[in-house]
Structure 1
Amino acid sequence: MTLTCLNLSSNHPNPSLSRSSIIMNKFMRSIYRQIYDEIGVKRKKRHENQHSNLYLSDDIDFIISLPNQSKYSLTNMTYYFEYNETLEYLIYAEFILPIHQISKIQIFFSTFNILLNQTFKKDQYWLKINLTKYIKSFPLKFHIKFNYIKQKFSSGFLTLYFRRTSTHLISRRDLSSFYDNQLITYPDDPSYCQVRPLRTTFSDLNWSSWIIEPSSYEMNICSGTCHTQSNMGTYFIVQNLLNQKYPNKIPAPCCRPKRFSSTIILYYDGPNLVLKRHENMRVVECGCSS
């Protein structure tokens, strides 16, 4: 199936996870779980770390982690990364290693070297090296040397953060986050056209082999009658009156989606892991139209 609605290709293998792929999966899940729970419900705001602004900001369009394409071993610490899309909106890039006790790293590119002592970020699980200013194009290749202490080690990966285009930013900032996600209903007239909660699982769509998070999401559905109401547009009030008079000639207005919000999904795109905000996946308001 070609998933043009998600701007994806049809090739989404469920990779046989190596140790390095499992670690990359764990890292990307940790980003997702800072924002949402397993079924895609946004968590309450918690204590933020210095990278939270990247993860939580509406300015971010997507985050992608690229696995090392070079055959890797402790005697051959060569890294090779491929990425075929534009870097125009790249705002941050970090090389991530699953180690946290280290004293010195040397990174050897083809035309220059980098020596790092304590100028990189370390936390409980990850060592993160900011390579933003060094990434100008792909493919990207480098070799590393470092000292580490009593740790199992597996290949690192490269994570890229891309900002949203100016068009997307303007359209989202026109709406408050509350209004953007709040379901518009009419409790006083439950039979009238309005959005109804509906949650679907990705396993129902046969997408669970490559969509990692969430396991389900609230897509919602529009249903109800389109009898004349004061909040109905003048055109559809007239259409309703004509339908009552000429039911065989003039169709009645239909209950259809009027406004959508986005959903953040973590999924495999080939060997890469992508955390992306997909627009128009969740209906939040319905209305009557032709």
Structure 2
Amino acid sequence: MTDRFIAIIGGSGLYEIDGLENTDWVSVDTPWGAPSDAILTGTLEGLKLAFLPRHGRGHVLDPSSVPYRANIDALKRLGVTDVISMSACGSFREEMAPGDFVMVDQFIDRTVARARSFFGPGCVAHVSMAHPTCGPLTDSVAQAATQAGATVHRGGTYLAMEGPQFSTLAESNMYRDHWGADVIGMTNMPEAKLAREAELCYASVAMVTDYDCWHPDHDAVQVADIVRTLTGNADTARRTIAHLPALLNRQKTPCPQGCDRALDTALITAPDKRDPDLIARLDAVAGRVL
């Protein structure tokens, strides 16, 4: 067993957590470039914790320019075992109201301009994404969010769009009525895919800020409205994080879902045909099997 090490990937304000001790902003070099920012590390009631500002402090990166591969590699390189994504999302469901938290368990990936795998020519791998989030980790986060006072919806499909523009009305209605999506955002893909390739347990918390544009009373998404709700969501998110130490073991045991063994049967390229340069870049995310 190893020490459990939780990473939070989220927006500004989430690293201002009461009780976080031994804090340090750590810069991590990766073969995939620089991550979004330095990573805040510390301990919370004995639980090792890290925070990575997905868009950089001050929100300087748009969703398409977030260095997703560098972010996940950096966390893996630090020794992180579990990743909790907290992100602002629009809602396609009346009952999933602004301010609510949705525990995502499925994705529809509509992104088109992002590198979505650590693998490729020279080392081909195919991981399963049938169940893209970690059930046990998600259960713990859902319990923490409930204790923090959030209205929590367990299960939901996240439509990942490229952005940075919001949806057209036609798109919003299609995603909601025909595709069965529950929330929409711009950042969880390829993040969830890369976390699986890196054998990290991954939970996604969609923090609802608006109803997108399908709702007759909310037909135009306004950034000012989103920011107001986002501020309240950040407060609830910090309280959620504060409840995690009481719910998570300090020692990391094998994941019942197999997230930490995702590469066991994923590598396809014969060992003698693998590209040495790519193999060297995979030292952190795939070193266990390489």
Question: Fold conserved (TM > 0.5)?
Answer: no
With structure 2 as the length reference, what TM-score do the two structures score?
0.23
Larger radius of gyration: 1
Q: Which has the higher helix share?
A: 2
